[in-house]
Amino acid sequence: MAPKTLRETVLKAAVDYIAENGPDGLSFRQVALAAGVSHQAPYHHFSDRKGIFEAIAIEGHEIFTATMLGSIDAHPEDPATALLDAYVEFAVNHRGHFRVMFRPDLCSATDNPELLRVSGRSFEVLVEQVHEILGPKASVADIRARATAMWSLAHGLAVLLIDGPLEHEIGPIKSRRALVRAVAEQSGMAAKKRR
């Protein structure tokens, strides 16, 4: 879907730049050039780079939450693998967002109430599913530990796939989903929901 407003055009140009080059070298001049607008146009909607990064992170968390919920709905029999798959697919398909969302040096959720809300919601999805997986008698400590383990596994795999040497080290990956399933099984995360 094509951007409709100047803000959307600038944001898309920034996301595309970050997907290819990472966020550290992003400048308003580069974004304006990529968006095909005047070098002053981005300032109409974003006062500085932090503003662009915050907007990217907000949009990213909204897409990320929807991706996780969709994956869980599609695979209710194995929510842990569904979450791992959703995380990896999101990272691969939304690299520009992913490379910003978990970087507090670029945008801190504590400085932006909307970012705090949407990032909190994406984490709530994970915690809710972990609670479902572990059952109603699970302690808060167990839920936190499993959520941390799942998040760490998903994030590490995603980074290795998009930025790291994973394919160089293990060989060509014919199916990302098959790899995700195998990793979930090997890690013990592919547990079924308890009835």
Q: Where are the domains of the chain?
A: 1-47, 54-187
Q: At 49, list the tokens.
A: 């780079």
Same fold, 1-47 and 54-187: no
Residue 195 pLDDT: 40
Q: Mind listing the pLDDT tens digit for each residue in 152-162?
A: 999 999 999 99
DSSP string, 53-90: HHHHHHHHHHHHHHHHHHHHHH-TT-HHHHHHHHHHHH
Read off the pLDDT of each residue in 77-89 and give the average, rounded to a whole number: 93
CATH fold of 54-187: Tetracycline Repressor; domain 2 (1.10.357)
Pick 61 or 170 by higher pLDDT.
61
Query: What residue has token string 């979450």?
Result: 83
Q: Mind listing the pLDDT tens digit for each residue in 159-189?
A: 999 987 898 888 889 999 999 999 999 988 8
Hey, is 106 helix, strand or coil? coil
Domain range 1-47, its CATH number among 2.40.50, 3.30.70, 1.10.10, 1.25.40: 1.10.10
